[in-house]
Amino acid sequence: MNWIESFIEYLQYERNYSRRTTEGYQADLEAFERFYEATDSSLSWAEMPADIVRQWVVEMMDKGNAATSVRRRLSSLRSFYKFLLRRGLVAKDPVHNIPGPKVEKKLPTYVRETEMDRLFDGDFFGEDYQGWRDRMILLTFYSTGIRLSELVGMNGKDVDLDQMQLKVTGKRNKQRIIPYGDEYGDSLRQYLTVREAFARQKAAGDASLFLDERSGRRMNPAKVRDIVKKYLSMVTTQRRNSPHVLRHTFATAMLNHQADLQSVKELLGHERLSTTEIYTHTTFEQLKEMYNQAHPRAKTKGGNYGNQNSGNPL
């Protein structure tokens, strides 16, 4: 077994990383391996100059790779060398002092509250099981901020109607409890009644909270993405309409209504507060926009205030 395979097994069985994540690590490491072998066939993982890593970063940037992609691949390489150092397979880490390219921070895309209100108060959803399910999917994303994988993985037993809370399984199989309010609870009770009738009709024994209308089984993530895009496109003109946009929308709405940052962090299942802090920039931008629209002197009228006379004020 080569060193990359050993590292991937470590991620899978000791760190409990998902298959998709480990495949990403493997692809990144194999890309670097191809690069250094083409650069100098005498090189090996154990004898790797830092300059080779720098050349790899430069080549990726020259080929037009996004800074975020380059940083991710560099992070994969850094994690790999930490693993090799702990196992005593290498004597030094050539990635240690190599910074990734700077990434321009982009504010999260979110849907405005008025647009979300129009979606749920409007006549967009049918009265059959599919219509009830689609509405509940959108409402769950918006009311809880959970990830797509968390929603698709939810089972009926994860719903506690008495305590008004959901149990979700997040990254690395970490579970957390998310409370919900009266409006969501009322909709959830109605949906569960419709779901039960649908499951009986389909003779479906699947425990999933959300069932495919054709197979009666757990929904495919791609289909959930399509559902979200379909309905959000009815109420907003923005180009990005995905489950993750609804996660951003939940966080932004919570902060706009005075939720504290630590609480939003726990609800979203973030490991670090710094990850959640990006939403404070979103709410500040919204605040600036509201100010510019509402305040009578937010914008100049034909010149700079306080400097309307051409002469010296003194």
Q: Scanning the structure block, which residue is given the tokens 């049918």?
A: 126
Query: Is 189 marked active-site?
Result: no
Catalytic residue among 147, 195, 248, 265: 147
Catalytic residue among 73, 135, 218, 247: 247
Amino acid at 253: A
- Compute the distance between CA of residue 204 and CA of residue 62 in angstroms, rounded to an integer: 53
Residue in 131, 142, 121 with CA at minimum distance from that of residue 242: 142
Encoded tokens for 159: 């719903």
* 171: annotated active-site residue: yes
Closest listed residue to residue 6, CA positions, set 119, 83, 105, 100? 83
Of 54, 171, 176, 229, catalytic: 171
How far apart, in whole angstroms, are the C-alpha atoms of residue 141 and residue 131? 16
Reduced 3-state DSSP string for 63-96: CCCCHHHHHHHHHHHHHHHHHHHHCCCCCCCCCC
Which residue matches tokens 């309307």? 308
Whether 295 is a known active-site residue: answer no
36 catalytic, yes or no?
A: no
- Annotated active-site residue in 54, 112, 229, 244: 244
Structure tokens at 270: 């973030």
Q: Is 279 designated active site? A: yes
Answer for the pair 213, 129: CB distance below 8 angstroms, yes or no. Answer: yes
Residue 247 designated active-site:
yes
| The pair of three-digit structure tokens given for residue 279, joined into one six-digit string | 């939403």
Catalytically active residues are 147, 171, 244, 247, 270, 279
